[in-house]
Chains A and B, each alone.
Chain A
Amino acid sequence: MATGTEPPRAPSPPARGTGASALTGVRSPGRAAVAARHLRTDRWWLQPAGTAAGLLAFVAYSVWRAFANADYYAAPYVSPFYSPCVAHDCVPMKGGADWDVFGGWWGLSPALLVLIFPLGFRLTCYYYRKAYYRGFWASPPACAVAEPHAKYTGETRLPLILQNVHRYFFYFALLVAGVLTYDTVLSFRDADGAWGHMGLGSLVFVVNIALIWAYTLSCHSCRHLIGGRLRHFSKHPVRYRLWGWVGKLNARHAQLAWASLVSVAVADFYVYLVASGVFGDPRFL
């Protein structure tokens, strides 16, 4: 029977004029003959366009700041783009994370040495993958809107198979978040290293680190490692509970991804404003 449970018959040769190669996807022979690539009437393009614009804006900003190699420290604040600062020529940070582990040969901005980790974490993040596959690659641009590519192999081969390394970046992201936490703690000292300080910058840092942690812990790899990989939750009650909490955060992974992206840029920009003297850090304590 034609609606059998057997495999479909080989598609009949293209009946409609043009060459076979042009008829793929939703216009494949045998499928309902509809010329339009999609029939959506809503503003489906808004989301991918917004995503692409947002990500591009962040990339532009971060490229400028990462290569600037200037105005990233205004005691007690260090820009999250430059922490930990592991090159030889970092600005001294008074107990901050300026560890000269790389030596003097590195001539470029020290930001590039560390940014690779959060960048990799976000680049391989399951949410960002969705966002840029849709926004930049148009693969697909939106649901039920035909993608322009003739061929698609997904994440089955190089380079995209490397997306599977997400969990290593997660491990590193934990370290980076730890350092940024340290920076945030140090932001409660004044420029001379005495405790008891609190400026607007300290608050910016607290908000930023909270969002960074929330984003990092809401990661799908984290959810898997903390408990998702278990088969019997009943035998691991503590991990089950943790998995439940991470799951709640994970449901907001996309929002946290954007919120932490904005907050990290704001934190950096705040440091830039203070360091470049545009603005003095208002102190509360």
Chain B
Amino acid sequence: MSTSTGAAASATSYEARFRVWRGDADGGGLHDFRVEVNDGEVVLDIIHRIQATQAPDLAVRWNCKAGKCGSCSAEVNGRPRLMCMTRMTDFARDETLTVTPLRAFPVLRDLVTDVSFNYEKAREVPGFVPPPGVAAGEYRMDQVDVDRSQEFRKCIECYLCQNTCHVVRDHEENKTAFAGPRFLMRVAELDMHPLDAAAQAGLDRRRTAQEEHGLGYCNITKCCTDVCPEGIKITDNALIPLKERAADRKYDPLVWLGSKIRRRGAASGPGA
């Protein structure tokens, strides 16, 4: 196995150069550290070593250290990453690593940012509407029908997509109008849920995607997909399909006509 080389390599620790942003909302800057790196370590290990040996009050948010909780989001050499999933072997040993907090959100302290923007946006998306008349335990869904929404539910809410999206990263003023990739994907997830009864309840998720969550701000430049640590195809599988669904109801008379005819022909269920 490849790991058997690891024991021999464990003697190969080295000293790395780090530049870590420290400060708070009133100001701050990059601080230099020289710190030991051992075999198999990730950036978060090094930040923890700095904390344990050189800067005990260095603030960093983390939790599972396994890429499952999405807490340790930061920017490493200018790229939004999960620190726990960024291996030191991705960098040359003589490279200086620059670690800063997420730059789209207000900073609280050191590497910790105020991500409440995301919680505010989460609240603006109406949740799953259970189908009336179907009791708990009676839900029947085919695997092929839940596959798409399940992909989106892999999201660990690390907010790297929200952070990297230039719509809000580069334009603070758009934060009110734009929900960001994560929550547009949530709308797509619910719109593709095989049993969501929003339409019966008078809620048009495609309309709200466009009019309330700012779908039109997205110019599909795909940075959200690039940074997603879960490998979710946010742009191709959620945002573009959502744009197409919005186009269905608003811009495509052929589809509109088709649905009119079908509706008159027979009372097929909503959304086919």
Contact = CB atoms under 8 A, between A and B. Distances in A.
Nearest to B80: A144
A7 B25 CA distance: 17
A251 interface: yes
Contacts of B113: 32
Interface string A150-190: 01111111001100111100010000000000000000000
Interface in A122-150: 126, 129-130, 133-134, 139-140, 143-147, 149
A228 B241 CA distance: 7
Contacts of B250: 164
A39 B75 contact: yes
Nearest to B217: A154
A143 B105 contact: no
Contact of A4 (B79, B100, B116, B246): B116
Given A31-B103, A229-B248, A233-B142, A156 B214 contact: yes
Nearest to B144: A233
A217 to B, nearest CB: 15
Interface in A6-53: 6-8, 11-12, 15-16, 24-26, 28-34, 38-42
A31 B106 contact: yes
A39 B226 CA distance: 17
A32 B107 contact: yes
Contacts of B23: 32-33
Most chain B CB inside 10 Å of its own CB: which residue of A2, A134, A140: A140
B271 A167 contact: no
Interface string B228-272: 000000001000110111111011101100000000000000011
B144 A234 contact: yes
A256 to B, nearest CB: 14
Contact of B223 (A144, A164, A166): A144
Given A34-B21, A126-B240, A164-B251, A133 B117 contact: no
Interface in A222-246: 223-225, 228-236, 240
A233 B220 contact: no
Contacts of A147: 166, 170
A196 to B, nearest CB: 41
A40 B161 CA distance: 17
Contacts, number: 199
B174 interface: yes
Most chain A CB inside 10 Å of its own CB: which residue of B80, B107, B169, B252: B169
Interface string B187-226: 0000010100000000000000000001011111111001
B27 A224 contact: no
B181 interface: no
Contact of B220 (A6, A32, A129, A236): A129
Contact of A165 (B164, B218, B221, B251): B251
A146 B244 contact: no
Contact of B236 (A134, A166, A250): A250
B26 interface: yes
Given A3-B115, A8-B114, A140-B170, A39 B216 contact: no
A230 B272 contact: yes
Most chain A CB inside 10 Å of its own CB: which residue of B78, B123, B144, B223: B78
Interface residues of B, number: 71
B170 A24 contact: yes
Given A6-B120, A33-B28, A220-B244, A144 B222 contact: no
B149 to A, nearest CB: 10
A24 B115 contact: no
A221 interface: yes
B166 A140 contact: yes
A5 B244 CA distance: 32
B184 interface: no
A258 B109 CA distance: 45
A143 B78 CA distance: 9
Contact of B100 (A34, A129, A157): A34
Contacts of A130: 219-222
Contact of B247 (A156, A157, A167, A230): A167
28 contacts: A24-B171, A31-B107, A32-B21, A32-B23, A32-B100, A33-B27, A33-B28, A34-B30, A39-B78, A139-B219, A143-B227, A144-B164, A145-B78, A146-B166, A152-B171, A152-B174, A153-B217, A154-B217, A164-B247, A166-B247, A220-B241, A223-B241, A228-B241, A229-B245, A231-B192, A231-B272, A232-B142, A233-B142
Interface of A: 2-8, 11-12, 15-16, 24-26, 28-34, 38-42, 126, 129-130, 133-134, 139-140, 143-147, 149, 151-157, 160-161, 164-167, 171, 220-221, 223-225, 228-236, 240, 250-251
Given A41-B78, A149-B170, A161-B216, 12 more contacts: A7-B116, A32-B21, A32-B100, A33-B29, A39-B77, A143-B226, A145-B78, A154-B214, A164-B246, A166-B247, A221-B244, A228-B244
